[in-house]
Structure 1
Amino acid sequence: MAVPVGAAGSGGEAGSASGGSLRLQLLGPLRMWRGDVELDAGPPQQALLLALLLARAGRPISTSRLVELIWEDAPASAVNLIHKYIGTLRRLLEPTVPIRGTGSHLQRRGNGYLFVAGNAMLDLAVFRELVQDAETALTQHRPEAPDRYVEALGLWQGSAGDGLTHGPAAISIFAGLHDEFYAACVAAADLAESLGRPERVLPSLRLAASMAPLHELVHARLVSTLRAAGQQAQALDVFRTARTCLADELGIDPGPALRAAHQRVLVGGTAPAAGARPLVRPRAPWQAAAPSGRRPAGGLVGRAEELAVLRQAVRSALDGGRGFVIVDGEPGVGKTRLLEEIAAEAGQRGAFVVWGRCLEGAGTPSMWPWVKAIGTVLDALPAETRDRWQAGVIGGLLRRRDDDLVAPAMLDGGRFRLFEEVVAVFREASALWRTLLVIDDLQWADDASLHLFSHLADQLPEGTMIVGALRDRAPAPGTDLSRMLAAASRVSGHRRVHLGPLSPPEVAELVRGETGRLPGPGAARGIHARTAGNPFFVRELSRLPACQGPLTEDAVALTEVPSTVHDVVRDRMTGLGADTRDLLRIAALIGREVHLNLLARAAGLDVRACLDHLEPLEALGLMESALEDPCAYRFAHDLVRQSVAETIPRRRAAQLHLDVAEALERAEPGDDSVAERLAYHLWAAGPLADPARTVRAQVLAGRRAAAKSAFDAAERDLRMAARNPANSRSTTDHRA
């Protein structure tokens, strides 16, 4: 019989007025108890409704979405039925609640409902807490990590909501929970095998394998764990069964992880093999403490389901497979923070983490994320290998001088050769180290960068994982980005992760981490309502002076909460001095990340004075120093930069663009990034810039873009130069 969560008769938040604690099981057949008495969840559709709300505990589900999840062909009365089921379930869970009362657990949120679980009430919540405890203990090298994993895995009694009848729309809800279980099984197996205690995780691994007959990583871990436990015959049986299933169902052979596990069985021996690693692997020589260059202090709030998907992809790459994930969401929802978290975890496990960031603005050099990412990879390769690659087509992408601006080969199939060389470079890197490539802010990527992203994802080498992140609005995906996403969806193993808003409890936890004080339920609901659960908005709101006192519901209600982040930024700029405000505006025109020397030159300041003006900007959270480069500063969020730029009067912006252009020209003339950025700032300066000078810069920028196979950007720059009146005058003068 399944063991219910919590001890019988325990009190706390799970208690009810009827005299017993309420406990719910979702990790297996849906079951409920009050005290020692088991409750009936009711008819199938009512039980499915409860299971769906439990699976998304703490997060609201709209009524229209519930209708889609419960019925394939919804009746006209579907909404009324949901309201009826909710009322029945409320009385079942809390018998003393009045007929029209809301209760503590099944609550209305907008046009939907959410389930709020009490302490130790829901097995899914307890499972996630135990897994998080295990991962924290493992990172801190504390001995209780194996026990936490075993305790967490023991909560699973079968497939989530086993026995419930649901349509295809609900599959993804429960599949996400299963992915969390599989990921925890794999992690626990790694740890148990490395500690010489493989038998502790065998029951859970067998359950996971029975739930997912086509999940190669789970079966590979079961084979390895059986071998380590001295059960070679059973390990071979598992491999043969998995191989047959893959062939019959998918028409494919086992992948590298399953083949490697099988090979270790054939080699023999019961001691943990070299492939049975602890979760925390020694760092590779090139890695710093935070492989991403920046991992914010404190734990990540929420995002358990999303992290489970990313962790599974990382484990696949670490085992010699491939991983490909696209993360999307609205601006400020925490996409970059999620990428930093998974990058840090992958780095701790020995992966080579490579970042490429797309920058917003017409002045951004074409192929910029790949220039940075490929440069990082080449720098890590042995000198002889690096020189060989730099002498080829890929060297033209990285070259920073005027020589060979437009190689003829690039105009005749050169883009394909460049893309193939990039694939080959990552194949060579992944042969040395398992590699995680992160490309952030894909909504700002140029056409050539998006084509290369698709090309690499389609031919991803074994031992490599690629993660891309993009906004799904502001701006909405353009044609090129939409085509890339469509192509990505056809890549085998592709996963798409959408980041939604935080729930009210998660908002409260985020505010606590930001201010050191936990808001009450009323204040948390008020902050959530005014920010729509957007983490960036929540942080900005919590930094306002009105939120520095007691975080009560009245205090939140009286706070002038900005309707948009632009209002938040303007509010925080109010107390700045004129010189500091001008420096901030110049930085906003330069871009998300600003080099200190360039900023100082554009503002007409020395570096020390520039640092003095940056100090209050750091205190307000508008800008921050870049940990990976002590001479660089960056905006806390690109939304902040956009908001600041919009405060600049048009005529003043033209002069500031010219100041930036003057500062860029005083930089290294042959710098590849300067040409395209210079052309943009001279163009934005309009009539204040010498037209002939602008034309020369646009022509050079077009030639440099063409040299990198970014032909769309090259055409744009050259067309702008051709339309410039100075170009017509210079042509007329030449003919005269």
Structure 2
Amino acid sequence: MLLQQPLTAARIRDLAVLQRQLRLARESPRFVRVTGEPWIGKSRLLRQLAVSARQDGWAVAAGRAPRAGGRRPFDVLVDALDDHLARADGSLFDDIGAVNTRALAPLFPALGTLAAADAEPEPYAVIRAVRALIGRLAAPGGLLLVLDDVHRAGPEVFDLVDHLVRHPPAGRVLTVFAHRTVPAGRHLSAVPYDSSDVRHLELRPLPEADARGLLPAGMAPLAVELALRDAGGVPGLLHALARGVVPGGRCRVVHGSADLAEGVPPVLGRDAIDLHTLSSLGWRSACAGAVLGDPFTAASVARTAGLPLEDALRGLDELYGEGLLRADGSCTRFRFARPAVRALVHHAAGAGWRSAALERALDALRADPEAGRPLAAHLENAPRLDLADLETLARSVTSGLYTRPARSLRSLRRLTADFDGPAGLRILHHKALVVSGRLEEAVAGHAESGLRPHEPVPVGGRTEAAVWHARALRLSGRHAEARSVLDGDGGLQAPGTAPAGPDDRSPGRGLPPG
């Protein structure tokens, strides 16, 4: 697993920054804010810092904000400090005082049996009590206080951090709080980041050399390149994608970036990324968005997930706050922050639920006049198509022939399977075969279903068919046959048909460039 491997060069430099702050905290209290996108490596870096601090004789109190929903006040502080309170003797409470002890008792389970606790302590009293507790735990060797995933914490936690920055606790204390880089973290503005005691460490995607070193040995070169491209330097995604190769190190399927964002994405890994912190509503909304494909609207998510619109909006707000979604140019449409995340979520959803959701997604996309590519990407797998669906598929094929040749080819096959396509559609099919590298199929297809005599053909259609037939021959190494086609000796008509008219012949002897 990636977490068992040594830190990369980039993360070693980040750890050195944190260790320097730990040394500076021996002189005066310090604060570090660690930020980055999901699965960038914040939590692992903090665990590494905790190991280093313990080896240097520091006490370590580490907590993490829990999953969305059901939040209790100061939950991340409770997770970090409750064990220390459970192990404390009476001298700790004597040092912080009876008033502070009564203020802390309702929050910490370790103090649940304490008599004379305040039933509902005043928030500022709790903040002062926590400050006194931190100062006491810092004696004599120092305290490293780690608060992870605080973008899920309530405003009271940021009021506490703000208070600690302006009124540092007594003793040697380094407070490190980490959160995802999310636009919805409005409470993060409470902390005075311009203070000289606050250091901001932003974790960026790994350089390619570092990311390549995290991949297991034995992966095929193409599988390595696909994993590096799709992960974008994010270690957590790289881990998930590396587990998606088949025995022998080969990738499961060769895919383009658009294949991850639209339609049914390829299976990238056996295990999904860690999304256990999502609430049931957030997870259901994420699965619905993954079934729809990028971009999608709140209304289409509600219809696909079978939720009221208000619930779907709350689910999208949660995903937006977790940094999994971003606005697609406006507040009406959304897309996953990374296409690989959408693909992993799609296949992590239950197969039965996903099958039923696809039917609902098609209905929602058909009702959306701007669905466009997301709808066309699903129609190739739809159980039934109407005339409007066929027209949507045909437009998608025309616009995506060169940028998404494999998908265009699948759409063409679905079109030709539903009805006997006209000449223009068959010409498109031959072009898609050539662009996709299926040269022998293109040559055979031209021979089997070439343009018929007296068949209505778009202007220049016979010339275009000949050029692409010749291109397939030439790319196959059959140069003499390609020249014969362009000379007009064959290929401009189906076998056994009359030669085409002079206006239909190719004007030149050579192939067009490209």
- TM normalised by structure 1 equals 0.34
Does 1 or 2 have the higher relative contact order (CA < 8 Å, sep 6+)?
2
- Which of the pair has more CA radius of gyration? 2
So what's the TM-score if we normalise by structure 2?
0.47
